Amino acid sequence: MVLNEPLVFTGAGYFLGIHAPGHRDFRFFLKAAHHAALSQSIGSHILKNEVKNSMVGSTFSCSYITPYSFTNHDENAALRADALLNRFFIEAAMGKGYPVEHLEFMKKIYNYVLPGDEQLLKAQFDFVGIQNYTREVIKHTCWIPLIRARIIPANKRKVAHTAMNWEIYPESIYHMLKQFNSICDGLPLIITENGAAFDDKLEDGKIIDDYRIYYLQRNIEQIHRAKTEGVNILGCFIWSLFDNFEWEKGFKPRFGLVHVDFDTHLRTAKKSALWYRDFLANQNNSITVRS
């Protein structure tokens, strides 16, 4: 894997300022994004040349994008959001250039593109990883400059959601697999992250997280749906095996199949872990699923 979620660390670190190094400057974001895209491609070629029989790829965060309404304003806002959140880095890596036709403000990235850079952007991948958790519903707004779009949070729409306030929307992973399959011209895809955080409670030595089992079941069904429609899916990784440190949110969101007491380090398999174990043991599964 060359890079993990390039949009996240460039956007959150150089534009939103919520991750390191904490910059809030659009120019820094453009520079960081272009250099991340270059390093991703150049890194893939180096790995292929230097590591015999290597299987090289990179992994991309993505969310199925739908407009808040069927007005032209909201539909165009959704197109802009999709171009930035889902298409920007993968299309560059596939040699298709940056999708600036829907991102007028991102054309300024070419202020930092040197002669020959565009040819260097095409990566040499054996697979592409996608990391999907939810969909995003997008509404037009004049109050957010440049992209003129905002995400309507799940709780504001009064839909079922995880502890991260991400909507539980299983069809999202199906749509993203189909979209990436089209962008990547049938290149093998691996779901490198998919899972859910909930407010798990350890009671009498057990965690009964039926909500997580439901989430995983429905998402695996959608993965299987895409696979039966011809999407070349190599496998799926559940995020995550253990409860972990989740970026700027710390230890509070629990994504793990295994509960971790961060004071004593005691580890307890959740009901979802036992369900997943049994699921994997079923040799009749038509998709390889790994954690």
CATH number for 57:
3.20.20.80
In the predicted model, what is the mean pLDDT of the chain? 95
- Tell me, what's the pLDDT at 287? 52
pLDDT at 269 over 60: yes
DSSP 69: S
> Can you tell me the distance from the alpha carbon of 184 to that of 125, in angstroms, rounded to the nearest whole number?
10
- Tell me, what's the pLDDT at 291? 44
Helical spans, DSSP H, in the chain: 6-14, 26-50, 72-82, 88-93, 117-120, 154-157, 171-183, 210-228, 271-281
pLDDT at 77 over 60: yes
Exposure string of 179-200, with b = 16+ CB inside 10 Å and e = fewer, is: bbbebbeeebbbbbbbbbbbeb
In a domain, 174, yes or no: yes
Domain of 102 in residue numbering reads as: 6-281
In a domain, 224, yes or no: yes
> Can you tell me the distance from the alpha carbon of 184 to that of 179, in angstroms, rounded to the nearest whole number?
9
Strand partners, 167: 161
Check 5, 91, 136, 167 and give the catalytic one. 5
pLDDT at 290 over 90: no
What proportion of the chain, given as a percentage, has pLDDT over 90?
96
> Can you tell me the distance from the alpha carbon of 138 to that of 67, in angstroms, rounded to the nearest whole number?
5
Angle between helices 210-228 and 271-281 (to 10 degrees): 30
In a domain, 290, yes or no: no
Q: Give residue 116's pLDDT band: very low, low, confident or very high (50, 70, 90).
A: very high
Neighbours of 71 (CB within 10 A): 12
Residues 6+ apart with CB under 8 A from 83: 99, 101, 102, 103
Say if residues 215 and 168 touch (Cβ distance below 8 Å). Answer: yes
Strands 127-140 and 267-269: what pairing?
unpaired
Q: Looking at the 3D structure of the chain, how many domains does it have?
A: 1
> Can you tell me the distance from the alpha carbon of 148 to that of 138, in angstroms, rounded to the nearest whole number?
10
Check 167, 171, 193, 248 and give the catalytic one. 193
Catalytic residue check, 193:
yes
pLDDT at 123 over 60: yes
pLDDT at 284 over 80: no
User: What is the tens place of the pLDDT at every residue in 187-228?
Assistant: 999 999 999 999 999 999 999 999 999 999 999 999 999 999
In a domain, 286, yes or no: no
Q: Which helix or strand (DSSP H or E) is residue 147 part of? A: none
Written as one string, the DSSP assignment of 92-107 is HHTTS---GGG-GGGG
Most distant CA atoms of the chain, gap in Å = 64
In a domain, 23, yes or no: yes
In a domain, 231, yes or no: yes
Q: Give residue 282's pLDDT band: very low, low, confident or very high (50, 70, 90).
A: confident
- Tell me, what's the pLDDT at 176? 98
Give the type of residue at 52. K
Phi, psi of 153 (to 5 degrees): -60, 155
User: What is the tens place of the pLDDT at every residue in 60-74?
Assistant: 999 999 999 999 999
Say if residues 166 and 132 touch (Cβ distance below 8 Å). Answer: no
In a domain, 199, yes or no: yes
Q: Between the CA of residue 195 and those of 130, 161, 178, 213, 239, what are the distances in Å?
A: 12, 12, 19, 10, 5
In a domain, 61, yes or no: yes
Q: Which helix or strand (DSSP H or E) is residue 24 part of? A: none
Of the candidates 236, 156, 157, 238, the one whose C-alpha atom is nearest the C-alpha of residue 197 is 238
Average pLDDT (14-40) is 95
Average pLDDT (107-127) is 97
